[in-house]
Each structure stands twice: as structure tokens, then as C-alpha cells.
Chain A
Amino acid sequence: MNNLSSSIVDLSLWVLALFSIASWTVILVKIWIYTRLARQDREFHRWFWQARSVADAEDLAQRAKGNSAELARRGFAVLRAANDGALERSGSRRLRLERAMRDGLQARQRSLESGLMLLAGVGATAPFVGLFGTVWGIMDALKSIGVSGSAGLDVVAGPIGEALVATAFGIAAAVPAVLAYNYGLRRAKLLVAEMENFATDFIELLAEE
């Protein structure tokens, strides 16, 4: 009984450690990715709109990195593709551009938000995992009190205090995950909004002609 209970409390602690490690890794990586993408997009937008010709802009898009550069590459690829009658390449320039941009946006959005689900999951479940460990520990403490028949403060307080550690760890793992989830979602939304702006402008610029 004692063995099982302590191993379950330990197990919940280990799971929480795993949660915490995973969520913090995602947090660091996401911060780095968002910061880098925001900078790349800013630079790309500036250079793109300063380009003197569409050819220059295309050249720039081929070399640049970032979300908007990738969208632009997709757009230019659509424009270059010969209309061979396949459905994929049918329709007006505007239609084809819109289709390419939408696909590109969705793909980028998916990759931007990947990992955020892990943060949401950790934020939602870590407290419960901790609580589970604590409840199990307390349950065992009460059982052993029942067996020994003595209910001194020392018998009760020690094991319960130890079991509460699991709840503390659960909260410690959940709080940064929830905060980072909200932050990451906002950053991703901002990046997507910028991409949408760029895509709209791009379509307006090149749809006619």
C-alpha cells in the first residue's frame, strides 16, 4: 500500500516534470520563432514595397526568408505557371492568386500555432495531475492513520504535507503554460494578420495586368 501510493505520488511528480520541461521548451522555441519571423517580415515588407519592378520584387522574394516571403513566392509561382487547362491552374489571375494565398496562409498559420496546443494541454491538466498525486497521498495517509489508530498531528501532518508538494508542482507547471499559451496565441494572430494584409496587397498589385 505504502509502496504503491508513494510510487503514484512520485509518478505524478515525474509526469509534472515532463510537462514542465516540454512546455518550457515550447515556450523558448516559440519566443525565438515569433521574434525571428516578425523581424523577417518587417524587413521583407520594407524591401518588397521599395522594389522598382515586379521582377526585382520576385528576385527579393526568392532570396528572403519569413512568412510573407513564402507567400510571395507562392504568388509568383502561380503567375509563372502556364495555364495548361488543369483545374488547379484555371480561372482568372485574381482567382488563382487568392487560392494560392489562402493555402499559404493556412499552412503558415498551422505551423505558427503548432505547439500552442501542448501549452494549452499542460495548462489545463497539470493542476489535475498534481491534485491526483496529492489526493492519493492523503488517502494513503488517512488509511495508515486508520490502521495505526493514532491521529496525532505528527502522524497526519507529515504525509499530507508531503503529498501537497504534488499540487504545488502542478500549479507551478500550469501557470507559465497558460500565460505562454495566451501570449503565443496573440503573437500568432498578429503575425497572421500581417500576412493577410500583405496577401491582400499582393493580390491587388498583381491581379490586374
Chain B
Amino acid sequence: MSEYRVRLTALMIVLAVHAGIWRHLAVERESQPVFLPPATVSVTMESAPRPMAEPPPEPSPGPAMPPESWLPPLPQSLSSSAVFPDAAVERARDELADAEPHAASAPAAIEPPPAHAAPSAPLAVEAPIESPRFDAAYLNNPKPKYPRLLEQRGIGGRVLVRAEVQPDGRCGQVRLIQSSGFKLFDDAALAAVKDWRFVPARRGGQAVSAWVDVPIIFKPENAS
């Protein structure tokens, strides 16, 4: 009699532990935030590689464009990410695969959208500068950690981080350009980007340091 009870208890304990482990693993696997894949590299045009050693214009939007100036393309990139169900990693992969050939055929031809043509043109004309990239697959950049607190409440957000890409591909300084409104998101994004590796900007074949804007979108998994 009591032996059956022991068996049942053991089974329950084992089931509970397994369920716990399973859930933990599942959460870790699925909660990785979707962040803008290469398809939205359009945003990087903003990186309009500034001459190295120059501080980012963001604190004092003097000569360069103010942060607002790149807002126009946002709706576009946002909407592209909105279509993006975050489980549909496959689609992201497809897009990536689609994007690859273009990038390969015209590596230097990351065309700034019309809204930016004006500000970045003068810079780009005299020296063909290839802006830094953070999306190449081999860089293996880890996704930011989704803050658990916000994840549990299904809160998402968008952070724009401006990162200084040094000639060796490492990240120098990082600045918060556009906050998500949640410090947790901002911190997670900054911490993640800080550790990233980049393809450095090039001016005529020589790696130079430059600034690049990295949009990071946190999207809760239960959001449609």
C-alpha cells in the first residue's frame, strides 16, 4: 500500500522537476528578443560614417544631423518588424538569405534613403566610405537579454543605440540615442551592443573608426 504511495510521490516529484527544467529551457529559447535583422540595415545609413575621433553629434547636434533627422525611416523599419512574428525565425532567416546576395553584389552600395540623401551626400562623395556593419552572421553577435520583469508582463520596446566602431571591429563608446522608456531595456541593449563585434567602416580599403546606429527591438513573445 505505502509502496504505491511512494511510487506516486516519486513520480510527482520527477514530473515537477522535469516540467520545471523544460519550462526553463523553453523560456530561454523563446524569450530571445527579436532585434532588427539585416533586412532593416536601412537604418545603418544613418551611421553616415563621421570622421573618426569626432564625438557623436548627439549630445550637441551641431553640424551633423540631429537625432530626429533619422526618424523618418523609422516607420518603415518598424512596420517591417511588426509584420515579423517573433516565432517566425525562419522568415527572418529567409529575409537574411535574400538580403545576402544583394549585399554581396554591391557591398559598398548601402544607399541612404531619400530622407538622408541630402545630409550624407557631401560626406560620401569625396571618399567612398563603407559604413560599419553589425549584422554579418559570422560576427555572432548575441542578442540582448530580455529583462525578465518586462518579459513577464509582455512589455516590448525599441531602443536606439549609437555605437563607436573602432577600426579593429570592437565597440568603443555606446550612447543611448532613443530610450524605450524602460531603463531595463536601455541597459540591456547598451550592455549587449557594448560586447558586439562589428565590421569596421572602411574608407578606400582602410578600416577607420565610425559611429553606427543600432536599433534594437524587444518584442514580447505573446504579442501577436
Contact = CB atoms under 8 A, between A and B. Distances in A.
A152 B100 contact: yes
A17 B10 contact: no
A150 B100 contact: yes
A50 B127 CA distance: 102
B118 interface: no
Contacts of B22: 17
A9 B14 CA distance: 23
B138 A153 contact: yes
A137 B14 CA distance: 28
A28 B100 contact: no
Interface in A149-195: 150, 152-155, 157-158
A155 B13 contact: no
A184 B17 CA distance: 22
* Majority secondary structure, A binding face: helix
Nearest to A172: B21
Given A17-B22, A32-B6, A154 B93 contact: yes
Nearest to B11: A25
Which one of A28, A33, A154 has the greatest number of beta carbons of chain B within 10 Å? A154
B96 interface: yes
Interface in A15-29: 17, 20-21, 24-25, 28-29
Contacts of A157: 137
A29 B100 CA distance: 56
B113 to A, nearest CB: 25
Contacts of B96: 154
Contact of B93 (A20, A28, A29, A158): A158
Interface string A14-58: 000100110011001100110000000000000000000000000
B183 interface: no
Contact of B7 (A25, A152, A158): A25
B110 interface: no
Q: How large is the interface on A (under 10, 10 to 19, 20 to 34, 35 or more residues)?
A: 10 to 19
Contacts of B3: 33
A29 B7 CA distance: 6
A202 to B, nearest CB: 25
Contacts of B97: 148, 150, 152, 155
Contacts of A150: 97, 100-101
A20 B137 contact: no
A154 B10 contact: no
Given A20-B18, A152-B137, A153-B138, A25 B10 contact: yes
Nearest to B10: A28
A154 B18 contact: no
Given A21-B18, A33-B3, A150-B100, A28 B13 contact: yes
A36 to B, nearest CB: 9
Given A153-B137, A154-B137, A155-B97, A32 B18 contact: no
Interface of B: 3, 6-7, 10-11, 13-15, 17-18, 22, 89, 93, 96-97, 100-101, 137-138
In the A-B complex, the 5 residue pairs with the smallest Cβ-Cβ separation, listed nearest first, are A154-B137, A28-B10, A24-B14, A25-B11, A25-B14
